[in-house]
Structure 1
Amino acid sequence: MSGKAPIGGALAIEVALKAEAANSLKALGHRLDRQLTELKQLGEQVRAMAPSPARDKRLAEYEEKRRDAEYRKWTLIVQREAMGLFNHEDVEEIYRVPPKLR
């Protein structure tokens, strides 16, 4: 009996698991990209507003969405590390979370 895993057995399961993990990363990246686009637009709106209670409310919304984007980016990095990817320079470059506003 050979020591190789059968094509239809463990190897197929491993390939399916890796494909599922890759799809999960892809989906998370797409969600983060959309979220960062919305966050950038919201930040531009806040910057264009004069000081007022309405601006304060939008600023609070911006900061909440910004924290969520930071968390989602961290989640993406954790999932990448779980897959054995430890260089995150591309993640830092592609998914830049906008700065805090005042």
Structure 2
Amino acid sequence: MPSSSSSIGTPLAVEVEIRREKASALRRVGDKLETLIAQLVKLQGELSTLSGWQRAKKAEEYQKLWADADYQRWCLVIQRESLGLFHHAEVDLMYPIPPKVK
């Protein structure tokens, strides 16, 4: 009967590589989300100094970035769930997405 480990408790090389790739994918999504959040924070500051059509244009840019950040957060949650992590309060603490603007 084949086993998934070369000896009890020791993972096979392929299992280690799969775990590394899962962790790497999780990190890539987290990095994307961090970048988007930083861009949102910067735009949020710019929005507070603008008015009229300039603000409207910048608000549209903000909304697009916000939607991208929300999607990346969703991807991060899916990645976490694929690893067996089902409580996501930490995600909101580590990656606080600024609120939508009007």
Same fold, TM exceeding 0.5? yes
Please list the CA deviations of residues 57-96 of structure 1 after superposition, one character each: whole Å capped at 9, or x if unmatched.
1100000100110010010000110111112111111111
Q: Kindly tell me: are residues 58 and 3 of structure 1, through their superposed partners in 2, closer, same or farther at Cα, counting changes over 3 Å?
A: closer
Helix, strand or coil for the counterpart of 1:6? strand
Instruction: Tell me if structure 1 keeps the 8 A contact 2:4–2:12.
Output: no
Which residue of the partner structure matches residue 69 of structure 1?
69
Q: Distance in 1 between matches of 2:16 and 2:83?
A: 13
Which residue of the partner structure matches residue 16 of structure 1?
17
Which residue of the partner structure matches residue 55 of structure 1?
55
Q: Which amino acid aligns with 1:40?
A: V
Q: Kindly tell me: are residues 41 and 15 of structure 1, through their superposed partners in 2, closer, same or farther at Cα, counting changes over 3 Å?
A: same
Confirm or deny that 1:39 pairs with 2:40: yes
Between the two proteins, what is the percent identity of the paired residues? 33
Q: Distance in 2 between matches of 1:2 and 1:81?
A: 28
CA RMSD across the alignment: 2.0
* CA-CA distance at 1:3 after TM superposition: 5.1
Please list the CA deviations of residues 27-69 of structure 1 after superposition, one character each: whole Å capped at 9, or x if unmatched.
211121111011111011012112x112111100000100110
Unaligned runs of 5+ in 1: none
In terms of fraction of residues, the more strand-rich structure is 2
Q: Which amino acid aligns with 1:54?
A: Q
* CA-CA distance at 1:6 after TM superposition: 2.6
Helix, strand or coil for the counterpart of 1:48? coil
Displaced runs of 4 or more, over 2 A: 1-7
Helix, strand or coil for the counterpart of 2:6? coil
